[in-house]
């Protein structure tokens, strides 16, 4: 049977602490880069799904077409009468 020595236990604890702080530093350095990459990929995927759902439109840059003029009412007499309703308890 093997026994744990004090120096061996201290080495293991020291290595675990170094790994913990090393990962913490690496996360602070590469976390924003990784987050930017993930959000960019998610945005591209969302854009791709959106483009698949909507049919492509033909480009009509610079074209203006008017089918008909809207009817213009010069008077508001056809609107009707205002009726005030009251609640009955």
pLDDT tens per residue across span 36-55: 999 999 999 999 888 887 66
Domains identified in the chain, total number: 1
89 lies in some domain:
no
User: Domain for residue 65, yes or no?
Assistant: no
Q: Is the residue at 31 inside a domain?
A: yes
pTM, rounded to two decimals: 0.42
46 found inside a domain: yes
Q: Does 4 reside within a domain?
A: no
CA-CA distance, 21 to 67, in Å (whole number)? 70
Task: Examine residue 47 and state whether it is found in any structural domain, yes or no.
Answer: yes
Q: What is the mean pLDDT of residues 16-27?
A: 96
Q: What DSSP string describes the chain?
A: -----HHHHHHHHHHHHHHHHHHHHHHHHHHHHHHHHHHHHHHHHHHHHHHHHSPPPPP-TT------PPP--S--TTS----------
Give me the domain span that covers residue 47.
26-52
């Amino acid at each position: 049977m093997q026994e744990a020595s004090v120096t061996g236990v201290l080495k293991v604890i020291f290595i675990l602490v170094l790994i913990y702080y090393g990962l913490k530093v690496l996360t602070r350095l590469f976390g924003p880069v990784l987050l930017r990459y993930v959000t960019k990929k998610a945005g591209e995927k969302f854009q791709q799904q959106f483009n698949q759902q909507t049919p492509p439109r033909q480009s009509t840059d610079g074209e203006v077409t008017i089918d008909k003029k809207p009817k213009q009412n010069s008077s508001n007499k056809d609107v009707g009468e205002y009726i005030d309703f009251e609640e009955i308890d």
